[in-house]
Amino acid sequence: MQDLEQFRQEVRRWLETNCPPSQRQPVTPKEQYWGGRRGKFPSEDARLWYERMRDKGWIVPEWPTEYGGGGLSDHQGRAIRQEMKRINARTPLYGIGIWMLGPALLEYGNDAQKQRHLPAIINGEIRWAQGYSEPGAGSDLASLQCKAEDKGDHFLVNGTKIWTTAADKCDWIFCLVRTNPDVKKQEGISFLLIDMDDPGISTTPIGLISGESEFCQTFFDNVKVPKENLVGELNKGWSVAKALLVHERKLMAEMGSDSPRKIVAPNDAAREYLAFENGKIADAQLRSDLVDYNMQMHAIALTHFRGFEEKAAGVRSAAPLVMKYLGTEAEKTKSELLLAIMGSRGLGWEGEGFTAEELDTLRLWAMSKAMTIAGGSSEIQLNVIAKSVLELPQPGEQ
C-alpha cells in the first residue's frame, strides 16, 4: 500500500509535467481522438498528449508491455485513472478496441493475433467496430444468422449486423458468425475479425430518436475472411462473446461516472432551475426525486468501489453482474430528472432560445433510452442475475 502511494505521487508529478493545460478541460465529442486509418487529432496538444501517454505505456496501463501496455497492476492502473480524473485530464485515445476487444484477445487470442492487433489499437492505427446484433437477433443474440462458410483457406461471410457503433468510421469489425446451423444455437457460433476495407462490406448510418446516428447497419456480401482471423476455436465463439460482453457491460455500467460528454449534474441544475425556500427545494416531488437519485448514485459508486476491492482481494462477488442493470437504469432516471428540473427549457430541440447545455440535455435524454437496451437489455440482465447469481431454475426446466 505504501508502494502504491509512492507510485501515485510519481504519477501525479508526471501528469503535472506532461499533460498540456488544454487537455485538462471537459471534452466535447468533436475533441475526442478515436484513432484509426481516418482518425485525426483534434489539435496539436491532443497529439502531444496522446504520444506522451503512448510512450509511457499508459494508454492501457494494465496490458503487457510487449503489446504497448504498461505492464502494471489493476491498483496501479486505477491510481493512474484517478490521478487523471483529479486534474480533469482527457482520455488520450478512445475506442472499443481498448475497452472490449483487447481484453477478449488477451484471454482468447493466439500469439499472432495479439501481436498483430493489440499494438495497432494502442498505436491508434486501427479503430474497431462491434458486430453482434442482427435485425432478427437482438435480446436473443444467440439466434444470429450472419453466416461464415468454410471454403478451405478462408471463410465466406454473408449477412448483416446492426447497431454497429460508428462503423462508418471504423477499420475492422469483430463479428459473431454462424459456422454451424445444425446444432444448439450457442454451439454453432464463431468469433471472427474482419477488415472493413475488404470487398463486399458496406455500412449505412441509422437515424435515431435523438436526431443523431451514431449506430449503423453493416452488410456482408460474399466477404472472404482469412482463416487466421478466427479467435478461439471454431464454433466456440459464444464463450468469447460472453467474456467480451462482461467488458461491455462494465463499460456501460460506468458510463455515467466517466462520460466523454460534459453533462449537466442534477444538483447543479436544481440550483439553476428550481425555487428554494428556507434552503430547501420548494417542489417537494422534485426534491424527493433528486434525493432518491443521489442516494442511488452514491450507493452505485460505493458498489463499483467494492467490486474493485473484491476483485483485488480475490473474493467472488455478485456485484459486477448487477452493475450494468443498475448503472444504465440510473442514467435513464437522471435524464428524466434533468428534464423535469428544466421544465420547458429542457424541451428545446435546436436553434435559438435555448442554451447548448439545455439542447444537449434533451438529446442525451433521448440517447439514454438506448442504454437499457444495448449490450443486453435490462430484462436480459435480470435473466442473467436470476440464473447466475440466484441459480433459479430455467424456463421449461422440470
Task: Point out which residues bind another protein (CB under 8 A).
Answer: 267, 270-271, 276, 279-281, 287-288, 290-292, 294-296, 298-300, 302-303, 305-306, 309-310, 313, 315, 318-319, 322, 325-326, 379, 381-383, 385-386, 389-398
Nearest CB to another protein, comparing residues 230 and 281: 281
Whole-number minimum distance, CB 241 to another protein, in Å? 21
**Closer residue to another protein in complex, CB, 197/391:** 391
CB of 280 to another protein, least distance (A): 6
Nearer to another protein, 90 or 304 (CB): 304
Looking at the Cβ atoms of 263 and 385, the one nearer to another protein is: 385
Q: Which residue number, 121 or 384, has a Cβ lying nearer to another protein? A: 384
The cell numbers describing 113, all together, are 493475433
Q: Are 275 and 42 in contact (CB under 8 A)?
A: no
Each residue of 122-146: b (16+ CB within 10 Å) or e? bebebbbbbbbbbeebbeebbebeb
Four-point Cα dihedral 261, 262, 264, 268, nearest 10: 150
- Cβ proximity to another protein: between 183 and 315 the closer is 315
Taking the C-alpha atoms of residue 166 and residue 27, their distance in angstroms, rounded to an integer, is 18
Measure Cα distances from 387 to 98, 186, 236, 376 in Å: 29, 17, 21, 15
Tell me the closest approach of the beta carbon of residue 380 to another protein, in angstroms: 11
In the complex, minimum distance from the CB of residue 267 to another protein, in angstroms, rounded to a whole number: 7
Give the DSSP H or E segment for 309.
Answer: helix 284-313
Q: Supply the minimum distance, in Å, between the C-beta of residue 295 and another protein.
A: 6
Minimum Å gap between C-beta 133 and another protein is 21
Residues found in the chain = 398
Q: How far is the CB of 110 from another protein (least distance, A)?
A: 35
**In the complex, minimum distance from the CB of residue 272 to another protein, in angstroms, rounded to a whole number:** 12
DSSP assignment of 33-77 equals: ---STT---SSHHHHHHHHHHHHHT-SSTTS-GGGTS----HHHH
Based on CB atoms, which residue is closest to another protein, 209 or 299? 299
- CB atoms closer than 10 angstroms to residue 161: 27
Residues 6+ apart with CB under 8 A from 171: 36, 37, 38, 126, 127, 128, 195, 196, 197
- Is the CB of 305 or the CB of 349 nearer to another protein? 305
CA distance 376 to 387: 15
**How buried is 232 (Cβ within 10 angstroms: 0-12 exposed, 13-18 middle, 19+ buried)?**
buried
- Do residues 117 and 109 lie in contact, with contact meaning Cβ atoms separated by under 8 Å? yes
